[in-house]
């Protein structure tokens, strides 16, 4: 790979342990897909060869919450289903992250009925809202990258009592606004 010429073989590197840990964490974000509807198809496409989520180390979809640290809610969630989603979230490893993918997960979308949750953030913390109906795979990748940026900067936000605070990053479909990763730790 040419690394041998760039770095002397008997040389050494120094860095902070936290940098190495964050690098490893952000390079191996393992998603827990909670795909209930059409957004799930775009989620699958994101992991396919055309979009290749593996470039970001996030292609290892786990169906066991204890082996996952990124919940991706893709599709509408019914009121009856919400306790299941909450339980899966609680079983995931810390530090963990949540992406709300698409209009239905974030707001209920066109399903303005008593049976559909009008935004999963009413019942669980959401770190990134990915817009669209459905969002394109590039948009979901943007959401994953936003979380990687937070991990790189070790900006895991906790409130004064040690509880995890949601990042609440909004992505914009036309990419006119850069992702704001400034976090209020108060
Ligand atoms: S946001 Fe659109 S594409 Fe996604 S689950 Fe809802 S209706 Fe389907």
Query: If you take atom 5 of ligand 1, which residue's CA is the nearest one?
Result: 75
Ligand 1 atom closest to the CA of 102, numbered from 1 = 1
Q: How many CB atoms lie within 10 A of CB 86?
A: 13
Q: What is the pLDDT of residues 98-112, one digit of tens each?
A: 999 999 999 999 999
Residue 10 pLDDT: 72
Residue 129, preceding bond cis, omega within 30 degrees? no
Mean pLDDT of the chain: 87
Q: Answer whether 102 contacts ligand 1 (Cβ < 6 A).
A: yes
The CATH architecture that domain 22-170 belongs to is 3-Layer(aba) Sandwich (3.40)
Residue 12 pLDDT: 73
Residue spans per domain, the chain: 22-170
Q: Answer whether 116 contacts ligand 1 (Cβ < 6 A).
A: no
Rounded to an integer, the average pLDDT of 145-173 is 83
Residue 186 pLDDT: 54
DSSP states along 112-154 = -STTB-S-GGGTS--SEEEPSSSPPHHHHHHHHHHHHHHHHTT
Tell me the pLDDT band of 94, cut-offs 50, 70 and 90.
confident
Percent of the residues in the chain that have a pLDDT greater than 90, as a whole number: 65
Residue 3 pLDDT: 64
């Amino acid at each position: 790979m040419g690394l041998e010429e760039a770095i002397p073989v008997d040389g050494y590197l120094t860095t902070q342990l936290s940098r190495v840990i964050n690098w490893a964490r952000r390079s191996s974000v393992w998603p827990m897909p909670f795909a209930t509807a059409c957004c799930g198809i775009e989620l699958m496409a994101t992991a396919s060869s055309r979009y290749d989520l593996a470039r970001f180390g996030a292609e290892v979809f786990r169906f066991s919450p204890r082996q996952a640290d990124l919940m991706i809610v893709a599709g509408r969630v019914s009121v009856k289903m919400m306790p299941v989603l909450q339980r899966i979230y609680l079983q995931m490893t810390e530090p963990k992250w949540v992406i709300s993918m698409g209009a239905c997960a974030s707001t209920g979308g066109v399903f303005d009925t008593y049976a559909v949750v009008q935004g999963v953030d009413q019942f669980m913390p959401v770190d990134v809202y990915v817009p669209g109906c459905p969002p394109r795979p590039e948009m979901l990748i943007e959401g994953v990258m936003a979380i990687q940026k937070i991990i790189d900067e070790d900006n895991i936000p906790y409130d004064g009592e040690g509880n995890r605070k949601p990042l609440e990053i909004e992505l914009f479909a036309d990419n006119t606004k850069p992702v704001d990763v400034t976090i209020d730790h108060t």
